[in-house]
Structure 1
Amino acid sequence: MIKGLAITPPVLGRISIGKVVEKNGKRLPEKDDQFTITTQVQNRDGWLLHPVDEQLRQASPNAKLRTIPVRMLFNDPDLNLRAEYSLFDRQTGRPVCVGNGETCRRFTNQGIQTLPCPSPDACELAKTGLCKP
C-alpha cells in the first residue's frame, strides 16, 4: 500500500451555476437560472463546454439545464465533492497554486511548498486575477 495515496474519482468536468462577469476590473460571479457543464480546460474566454452539456441541453425544454443526472461513487461527501482555488500557468496549463482557503500547495523556485491560502482577494500571487474558485 502506498502511504498518502487518496482514492478519489477522476475529475472529468465541472458543473457551475451562473457565470463570471467582469465589473470594475474584478471578476465576480453572476447568478443564472441554469447549470453549465464544462471541461477542465480553460482559455482566456473562460471554461470550454463539455460535450455532455450540449447533449443534455438538446434533451431539455428551452435548451436550459435545470436538472443533471449525477451518480455519487462514495457515501462520504468529502470523497465525492471538493472545493478549491486554482491558479494555472496559461502557457503550460499546469497548476501553479492550489488551495482550499486555509492552506495551499504552490510551485516555487524551491519546489512545491505548503503556504497559507487567505483567498484570491488577499493573496499576493492571485492579485493578477488568474486565481479561480
Structure 2
Amino acid sequence: MIKGLAISPPILGRISIGKMVEKNGKRVPEKDDQFTLTSQIQNKEGWIKHPLDEQLRAKAQNQKLRSIPVRMIFNDPELNLRAEYSLFDRQTGRPVCIGNGETCQRLTNQGVEHHPCPSPDLCPLAQGGLCKPYGRLYVNLDESDEFGTFVFRTTGFNSIRTLAARLSYYHAASNGLLSCLPLQLTLRGKSTTQ
C-alpha cells in the first residue's frame, strides 16, 4: 500500500450549510440555517441537489433539514473525521501547506518540504488568515447506498472540535462499534460574545 494514502470511500454527494453567491464581482460563501444535500455535479447555478435532499426535506418540520439520520462508515473516529490545517493557493485552489499542529508538508519550488507546524496563529506563512482548520466528515445516509458516502466539509473550529469529541464518546460508549450506531447529524447555532 502507498504510504500516506488516505482511505476515502466512494462519495455520492455533499452535505452543505450554505452556498456560494456573487457579491461585488466575487464569489463568497453565504451561510444558511439548514443542511442541503447535493450531488457531486455543478452547473452555472451551483451544485445540483441530490434526490435524497427532497425526500428528507418532505419529512422535516417546515421543510428545513436541520437534522439528518447518518451512520459512520468506519469504527475508527479518525477515519470518519479527518482534520488538518490547510493553506490553499488563491489562484489555483491547490493546497500549498497542510499541517497537523506539529508538522506540515509545504509545496515549494524545490518540491514538498517537511517543516514544524506551529498552528496558523504562529506560522509566518499563514499570516492574513489564509491557513484554516479543514475538516471532512464522511457519513452514510440511512436511505442511500450502503457503500457510498456523503461528505460534510467545514472550516469551523467549533464544528471540528464538537464532531471529534462526539465521535470519541460514541466510539467509547459503543465499545468500538461506532459504525453500528444510528446517529443524527444536527445543525445547532453557537453564539459568541465579542
Q: Distance in 2 between matches of 1:94 and 1:39?
A: 22
Amino acid aligned to 2:84: E
Q: How much identity, in percent, do the aligned residues show?
A: 65
The equivalent residue for 2:119 is 119
Q: Is contact 1:14–1:39 with CA below 8 Å preserved after alignment?
A: yes
Unaligned runs of 5+ in 2: 18-31, 41-45, 134-194
Select which of 53, 56, 60 maps to 1:55: 53
Task: Tell me what 2:192 maps to.
Answer: none
Cα RMSD of the aligned pairs, angstroms, is 3.6
| TM superposition score normalised by structure 1 | 0.61
TM-score after normalising by structure 2: 0.44
SS at match of 1:125: helix
Matched positions, count? 112
Separation in structure 2 between the aligned mates of residue 36 and residue 85 of structure 1, nearest angstrom: 25
Structure 1, residues 93-131: CA drift from partner, whole Å, max 9, x if none?
Answer: 110011111111110122111111111111111102111
CA offsets per residue over residues 48-103 of structure 1, 9 Å max, x none?
87845x92784432455432232322111121111111111111111001111111
Please say which structure displays the higher CA radius of gyration. Answer: 2
Q: Take 2:104 and 2:2, find their aligned partners in 1: how far apart are those partners? A: 20
- Map 1:1-133 to 2 at 5 A: 2-4=1-3, 6=5, 8-10=7-9, 51=49, 55=53, 58-59=57-58, 60-62=60-62, 64-133=64-133
State how far apart, in whole Å, the 2-side matches of 1:113 and 1:92 are. Answer: 19
Q: State the alpha-carbon separation in 2 of the partners of residues 11 and 96 from structure 1.
A: 25
Instruction: Decide whether the 8 Å contact of 2:87 with 2:132 is kept in 1.
Output: yes
- Ranges of 4+ aligned residues in structure 1 off by more than 4 Å: 10-17, 32-40
